[in-house]
Amino acid sequence: MEFIDYYKILEIQKTSTEADIKAAYRKLARKYHPDLNPNDENAKMKFQQINEANEVLSDPEKRKKYDKYGKDWKHADEFEKANQQQSQSRGSSGGKQTNRGEYEDFSGDFSEFFESMYGSGAGGRSKQTKFRGQDLNAELHLNLMDVYKTQQQTLTVNGKSIRLTIPAGVENGQVIKITGHGTPGVNGGPNGDLYITFTIANHPKFKREGSNLYANVDLDLYTALLGGDIQVDTLDGKVKLKIAPETQSNTKVKLKGKGFPVYKKEGEFGDLYITYNVKLPTHLTEKEKELFTELSKLRTNGN
């Protein structure tokens, strides 16, 4: 198996922290994502390598094994177990000792050991130990409307197209597992799994917090003072609202059930909270100034 330098792939150092690894992965994953590089086989291959490198280096245990065993890191447990058994066997049978009085270890060349596990060993022996494939990680970038309703998308991961159903109400940063869509197992072992992290951008008009939505709506001065009807946007279309006379700026109202779908609870929605922002008129005409002056006098005299 050809050695792949995961640190080089992510363009980081062996001393890099978990935060460094995460930042490097996100930067490179965006750069080489197949959706941004259609029909670019080199970008597709690079994207696969980036995901593979992140899968190993972002996991402290896997990273430790990779740093110690290199390309054979996936079989480190088997090596250590066999090494231990071999040492115990030599100890019980008076095996060969070193000058320091310690039993000689099966050491150094890990590749030789793994070759005996999977290929031809002494006398043509062959051990077909099954190993589970690697898990893969991928990011899916969506906007708020993409997860307002359940939908399907086709993703390309590790060179394969996957038809994915995205449930309404998926949260930003949420991770879902697609069983069996990681790398293939070894010697008939099970495939790894695919973990998809959702990165969901907020809507220009709405801020999402869980299943609730928040929005600001401007009111003109006259509607705020005298009351009236307005139309406001929701993610499900426009609704008509009645404005009470003398509505103050920063007044908040709740539209029940007009928020975001609750994840995996069909038919349930959060609420939409609207904050009114009273806008003062600008570029007044002379006549308007006269009228506002008269109104000010009436208010002053009235008090």
Domain-by-domain residue ranges, the chain? 6-91+101-118, 136-200, 207-298
136-200 and 207-298: identical CATH topology? yes
Quote the tokens at residue 147: 């997860």
C-alpha 278: how far from chain center: 39
Architecture of the domain spanning 207-298: Sandwich (2.60)
The H helix count followed by the E strand count for the chain is 8, 11
Least confident span in 182-186, 196-200, 223-227, 283-287: 182-186
| Burial profile 273-297: b = 16 or more Cβ within 10 angstroms, e = fewer | bbebebeeeeeeeeeeeeeeeeeee
pLDDT in tens, 36-89: 888 888 888 888 889 888 989 999 988 988 888 777 777 777 777 666 655 555
pLDDT in tens, 160-184: 788 888 899 999 889 888 888 888 8
What CATH number does domain 136-200 carry, 2.40.50.1040, 1.10.230.10, 3.30.465.10, 2.60.260.20?
A: 2.60.260.20
Answering whether pTM is above 0.85, one says no
Q: For domain 6-91+101-118, say whether CATH 1.10.287.110 is its number.
A: yes
Query: Using CB atoms within 10 A of its CB, is residue 65 exposed (0-12), middle (13-18) or buried (19+)?
Result: buried
